[in-house]
Chain A
Amino acid sequence: MNDTPMHYCPGCSHGVVHKLIAEVIEEMGMTDRTIGISPVGCAVFAYNYLDIDWVEAAHGRAPACASALKRLWPDRLVFTYQGDGDLACIGTGETIHALNRGEHITIIFINNAIYGMTGGQMAPTTLMGMKTSTCPYGRQSDLHGFPLKITELAAQLEGTAYVTRQTVHTVAAIRKAKKAIRKAFENSIHGQGSSLVEVVSTCSAGWKMTPRQANKWLEENMVPYYPLGDLKDTTQS
């Protein structure tokens, strides 16, 4: 991690996940062989915080960038870090196809069910009835369609080796999430196929809650719709 003040809001999950990624890269001794792909969204400045080489992708294109980098540099650890809008909306095509090709990359997917950077608009993963600035009366299926469970979709793809859903809102959850990231990165290095680590996250500012309220809301609303745990793990013997 760089000694740079983070721009994230209090209570946001991004900072925790950044730290976990940094710890795993360091513990694996991969600092000099890691290339990160940052997204468009709140994590657009991820490259300011992790002391590795970065390529910032256009909105949604990170999995395409990662696919090329991994094929051109097969011994590198290549991962993308993407939010729900980037991964599950504008970049759905790139996400599905990179995963389905079985690219030996890891996608870290921060799902906070809202567009944080642009000021709290509806995301593809916004829950039914949830209020955002573009569904101020709550998400309705006839107007806005349904929340996209892209991680479940990813688990169906032949190319994925490891698909998991985690949170970082408790100490125990953080420990589990770190293990998941480590496993995903190991898969990428060992050519096991694609890995997707979804982190069901909080956006206290976007949700208009205190950090504590956001954690509680995540448990009571997000987790029931986005259940935690491994959805697929082909690396287990």
Chain B
Amino acid sequence: MDKNKNDVILLKGNEAVAHAAVRCGCDGFFGYPITPQSEIIETLSELRPWETTGMVVLQAESELASINMVYAGGASGKRVMTTSSSPGVALMQEGITYMAGAEIPGLIVNVSRGGPGLGTIQPSQSDYIQATRGGGNGDYNNIVLAPWNVQEMADFVDLGFELAFKYRNPVIMLSDGVIGQMMESVRLGDYKPRKTEEEIRRLYPWAACGRTIDRRPNIFTSLDLDSGSMERRNLALQAKFQAMCDNEVRFETTDIDDCDSLIVAFGSAARIANKAMQVLRAEGVRVGLFRPITLWPFPEKEIRELSTRVKRIYCVEINAGQMIDDIRLATDNPCPIYHYGRLGGMVPTPDEIVRFIKEKECV
């Protein structure tokens, strides 16, 4: 394995996730092949990190098994992850809600594709609501990170783990088939060593890795048959989710200072919208781009502020209109909000977006 620091190499987004996992001290990957993300487990199998960093890589029998491997591994204080695509992530929802309920950290990468059902292997962003509303049963949220290039797909592996352990909560990286499959140059981070048992016991005294004589057993469960106690547990979870909202909102803006209208887009749609924005600006249409990086917590305060000073908001998504609900919830003024999206694996072109916006702007 290439151990050079800060290597800049040409990688697919999926490959970048695999390299980033090995480098960021990930202890285990558990996954099941599904298009368009199978390169992640293929790359890991090729890299053989179990011979170098000691990272476990296991092809599980299903997505259900994968996520429950992550559930148990995270409970023991290990940095563990799984990756899948939309139908597989749908299967994982059981494990994700159990992780949230038992407060177990872990990283789930969704290289999403079009649905519903088996859908298509082509890219889509139609899992936005599933990811940002929890997805499984019960009142809970995941931190959702949306990369828009290969570099961020790599960087968000480590960031995802940091956030997962900070809050003891599942973190979802919601990518899509465009970013997973496209190749770009990417700067991989330095190797971070995996945590030793001593470090895990010191940093994560909650970890279920064997009860030493000096402490009570660590027990991971989301079960509590006493409603009063279960409500208190839920309230504590809600307080944690509020802390995430207060501290973890991430976003990026481009050309918003003088803009008349605002495009809000995430992930690959933001890449395409960014190009559309450049075309529009060259033609004198002053639009800006707001890119939520955390889809949950959603940057609602920032969107609300911007909505008071722009004429129109364009929500560009590769779905039937999912993030637009969050924009509507965030804005409490009459600023018109338009959705533009393509479905079923069709990816919008910059020209389509330019035409749509020019029509609404009456240019």
Residues in A lying within 8 Å of B, measured CB to CB: 31-35, 37-38, 44, 47, 51-58, 61, 64-69, 71-73, 76, 93-94, 97
Decide yes or no whether B16 CB sits under 8 A from chain A. Answer: no
Stretch with Cβ within 8 A of A (4 or more), from B172-180, B208-216, B333-341: B208-216
Query: B61-104: contact bitstring with A at CB < 8 Å (1 yes, 0 no)?
Result: 11011101111110110101000000000000011001000100
Decide yes or no whether B152 CB sits under 8 A from chain A. Answer: no
Residues of A within 8 A of B210 (CB): 32-35, 52-53, 73, 76
Residues of A within 8 A of B217 (CB): 47, 51-54
Given the known A-B contacts A54-B219, A73-B209, are A68 and B72 also in contact in the complex, defined by CB atoms under 8 Å?
yes
| B80 and A72 within 8 A (CB) | yes
16 A–B contact pairs at CB < 8 A? A34-B210, A35-B209, A44-B223, A51-B217, A52-B210, A53-B209, A55-B208, A56-B223, A57-B72, A64-B60, A64-B64, A66-B72, A69-B72, A72-B28, A93-B62, A97-B61
| B211 and A52 within 8 A (CB) | yes
Residues of A within 8 A of B34 (CB): none
- In the bound complex, CA of A55 to CA of B73 (Å): 10
| B80 and A68 within 8 A (CB) | yes
Decide yes or no whether B58 CB sits under 8 A from chain A. Answer: yes
| B219 and A68 within 8 A (CB) | no
- In the bound complex, CA of A231 to CA of B58 (Å): 29
| B220 and A54 within 8 A (CB) | yes
| A71 and B58 within 8 A (CB) | yes
Decide yes or no whether B218 CB sits under 8 A from chain A. Answer: yes
Residues of A within 8 A of B165 (CB): none
- In the bound complex, CA of A76 to CA of B210 (Å): 8
Further pairs besides A31-B211, A55-B75, A93-B62: 10, Cβ < 8 Å: A33-B210, A35-B76, A35-B208, A47-B219, A54-B217, A56-B219, A56-B223, A64-B65, A67-B60, A94-B64
Given the known A-B contacts A32-B213, A93-B65, are A37 and B28 also in contact in the complex, defined by CB atoms under 8 Å?
no
Measured CB to CB, the closest approach of chain A to B73, in angstroms, equals: 4
Residues of A within 8 A of B65 (CB): 61, 64, 67, 93-94, 97
- The chain B residue with its CB closest to the CB of A40 is B223
Decide yes or no whether B30 CB sits under 8 A from chain A. Answer: yes
Going nearest first, the 3 A-B pairs with the smallest beta carbon separation are: A65-B72, A68-B69, A61-B68
Decide yes or no whether B27 CB sits under 8 A from chain A. Answer: yes
| A64 and B213 within 8 A (CB) | no
Residues in B lying within 8 Å of A, measured CB to CB: 27-28, 30, 56, 58, 60-62, 64-66, 68-73, 75-76, 78, 80, 94-95, 98, 102, 208-213, 217-223
Residues of B within 8 A of A64 (CB): 60-61, 64-66, 68-69, 72
- The chain A residue with its CB closest to the CB of B95 is A58
Measured CB to CB, the closest approach of chain B to A214, in angstroms, equals: 26
Contact with B58, one of A35, A44, A67 (Cβ below 8 angstroms): A67
Given the known A-B contacts A32-B210, A32-B212, A72-B56, are A53 and B72 also in contact in the complex, defined by CB atoms under 8 Å?
no
Given the known A-B contacts A56-B102, A72-B78, A94-B61, are A67 and B208 also in contact in the complex, defined by CB atoms under 8 Å?
no
Contact with A51, one of B60, B76, B211 (Cβ below 8 angstroms): B211
| B76 and A56 within 8 A (CB) | no
Residues of A within 8 A of B80 (CB): 68, 72
| A55 and B95 within 8 A (CB) | no
| B61 and A72 within 8 A (CB) | no
Contact with B94, one of A38, A58, A71 (Cβ below 8 angstroms): A58
Residues of B within 8 A of A52 (CB): 210-211, 217
Given the known A-B contacts A64-B68, A71-B28, are A53 and B211 also in contact in the complex, defined by CB atoms under 8 Å?
yes
- In the bound complex, CA of A72 to CA of B222 (Å): 22
- In the bound complex, CA of A31 to CA of B60 (Å): 29
| A68 and B58 within 8 A (CB) | yes
Contact with A65, one of B27, B62, B68, B211 (Cβ below 8 angstroms): B68
| B78 and A53 within 8 A (CB) | no
Which of B28, B95, B212, B221 has most A Cβ within 10 Å? Answer: B221
Given the known A-B contacts A68-B72, A72-B80, are A56 and B58 also in contact in the complex, defined by CB atoms under 8 Å?
no
| B72 and A94 within 8 A (CB) | no
